[in-house]
Amino acid sequence: EAGVTQSPRYAVLQEGQAVSFWCDPISGHDTLYWYQQPRDQGPQLLVYFRDEAVIDNSQLPSDRFSAVRPKGTNSTLKIQSAKQGDTATYLCASSFPGTGMNERLFFGHGTKLSVL
């Protein structure tokens, strides 16, 4: 079974540039998460979807970040005008429906972003 696929693996930008990250979750997983992980820190939730609906985007910096999952499968996270503070690894995860509180998240390898 294929895991969670993310692309690109790396991105290097100048401040003010835009970037998009793409995620393909495990087939059949209805919940999709985007996390931001600064170097040597724990992942911090940005946004998550159940099918195509946004469940929680309270931690997403809405002025510059956006995320969509139009058909309830693949998802795109976009940063409009990157800042040096956005330097981090962006992780996508998915989970299988119906397991309740014991939902196990399956993570992709992440996209490592450097903003110069």
Strands 44-50 and 31-37 turn out to be antiparallel
Inter-residue contact 92 to 68 (CB < 8 Å): no
Q: Which of 8, 56, 83, 84 binds another protein (CB under 8 A)?
A: 56
- Binders of another protein in range 60-89 (CB under 8 A): none
Interface with another protein includes 45 (CB under 8 A)?
A: yes
Residues facing residue 19 across a β-bridge: 79
Question: Per rule CB under 8 A, is residue 21 in the interface with another protein?
Answer: no
CA distance 63 to 97: 31
| 43 scored as a contact of another protein (CB under 8 A) | yes
Q: Is 4 in the site for another protein (CB under 8 A)?
A: yes
Beta bridge partners of 48: 33, 56
Applying CB under 8 A, the residues found at the interface with another protein are 4, 31, 33, 35, 40-45, 48, 50, 55-56, 91, 93, 95, 100-110
